[in-house]
Chains A and B, each alone.
Chain A
Amino acid sequence: MVDLLIIGAGPAGLAASIEAASRNLSVTIIDEFTTPGGRLLGQLHEEEKDVWWNGVEEAHTLHEKAQENGVELLLETSVYKIQQEDVYWSTHTSAGIYHSKALLIATGATEQSLPLPGWTLPGVMSIGAAQVMTNVRHVKPGEKGIIIGLNALSFAISRELRLCNIDLEGFFLPPDHFLTTDQAKPLSVLNNLMTLSHLAPMNWMRLGGKIANNNRWIQKQTLSFYPKRGINIWQTPVHVRKAVTSINGSTQVESVTVVDLRADGTMIEGSEENLEVDFVCISGGLAPLTELIGLTDLKLIAIESLGGYVPVHFEDMRTEVTDLYVAGNITGIESAKVARAQGVVAGISACIHSFNLRNDDALEIAMEKVRKERAEAKLQFHPEIEKGRTLLYSEKGEVQYG
């Protein structure tokens, strides 16, 4: 029996463990990955000129601090069930059952896919898979690839692949069908990309400058005159008027078929072309990984700007279920710095609310830090994140809970 058990050793879980352990709680973290750090491990962004956000190093720093504070870390261990008993939680894992007074779920996010013909062929992978392969495993996913899906994550990762000298054919739209909708329509994709213009240091502004922000008419004009060879970001052509209609190969990826689109998104017959590639990355966005929440009485609520269904929780990371806390991307899709700051809040909050630690101003300071990180985030996944948070934290009770 430990005081606090944390599921997930990403930035949220690790940061929480440090706060709780340094306030004398006994803390165990469980994670199924091979290395502590979660999705932080793959991240490598140039935040300002020559200033890099190096996820491996950030993860290493957090892990060391956790160790110094006596946090116990169990890796390569999957949690498949949690259950609240009378006064404690049981966490069922591939390495046995663990008991704790308090439980923090920090399982992060999962990638969404864009199904299309041929996407089960070996060589087709999620964009995050390619990121982990290069930056964590130090292996190239292939010689030459193509990226399907235009969003903040695929742009950021394309650059990481380029740093490893991997050849990229370009960014293309998915085929337009019932499940791809907005991500397959040139105008809505362009519109969405414009909201990313705060990514300015990430070069996107160059394109943003060419396509005046927020003006529908200008955007339509831009689409009509969009260059056929695409507009490059970090040497990779962005195509908003070309879609991949199928991925081809007998036993693994050999080529993709792409087709030109009119400005309204309809296909131009006869424009099909086969491009030879040996790997394909699909980038359909991120969603909170809430499967463990589904085993508890905690309610989930759909908030689009947070990436989908999130567990109902307070700003101090408490939930309505006694001794159950959440932190990080499970509460909404944001950058690792926000997740880490939320972890700090959760760690302190657990000490106060489950272990009667005196409530000094540490909690309020930590919550303020989350707001600050959110406001200053270089990589934002949705333009209306703040609105989503406000909805959750201040108008609680008025929203319809799932």
Chain B
Amino acid sequence: MMNSITINNLTKRFGNFTSVDSISFDVKEGEIFGFLGANGAGKTTTIKMLCGILSPTEGDALVAGFSIKKEPNKVKLNIGYMSQRFSLYNDLTVEENINFFGGIYGLNGSRLLERKQWVLKIANLNGKENLLTASLPGGIKQRLALGTAVIHRPKIVFLDEPTSGVDPISRRNFWDLIHNLSSDGITVFVTTHYLEEAEFCNNIILINAGKLIAEGSSKELKTNYLKNDLYEIECSNVVDALEILEVQNFVEETSIFGNNIHISVNRNFSSTQQIESVLLSNKDIKISRVNKIVPTLEDVFIHLLERDKK
């Protein structure tokens, strides 16, 4: 498969603050590509450079085969962008918004009509063309924003946290839509905070403080980056339990997951009895369950971010 996006040492500095620090990676044609990172990691900055809204301080990228530095106008013809705020004109009707965005992409006549029908369909807004956009619920607005972002059938679409602030069911439906776009051959470059959503991506990049710290499919990330076995402990008095576990020589890393504790263990570990016996030394701790688990992406990322801190 061909590369849809090729990024080379892309860097963005604001003054002497480096927001994106020399990152390089490839995105394949037609894939759903997850771009992950904590708040302020540099996701939006990277997307804005790829879309030609910001110019890179250093490095370059080929988007749909065109350099974002040398041929930004050709890049623009091939991409769609949905910003973090899914921006539509709230004071225009649904149809006026579609007409406007279609218009600035040069659609008219039967082509505009056909694409308008398509947008209305995916946003479930058939027959509601004259509603004011401000009156739409978040989930619908988000689908309308996606529709207008790809109204011109771009080869690549950049979605910056498209599901933030939307209820779980709408999120689920939205991901179905993303899958449809991808199966139509559109490359989807998506950032998200929800790690369970990252599982839907073909490939993932994790960045932290502007630097790339991991890449691969969800499965590769779990096996390549997390060598140690992982155990989940359900018990009372989690804080005390955590304190005890942290200092054990068989424990590599600890973290809290909801009401449970996850620990990764090293060579010194023999069996779950080891965990139970150290915890039961404190009478206040009641253990309900200790078992080995398959790591989630969250485990991998916490591990990677902890490692990055050191």
Question: Does B bind A?
Answer: no
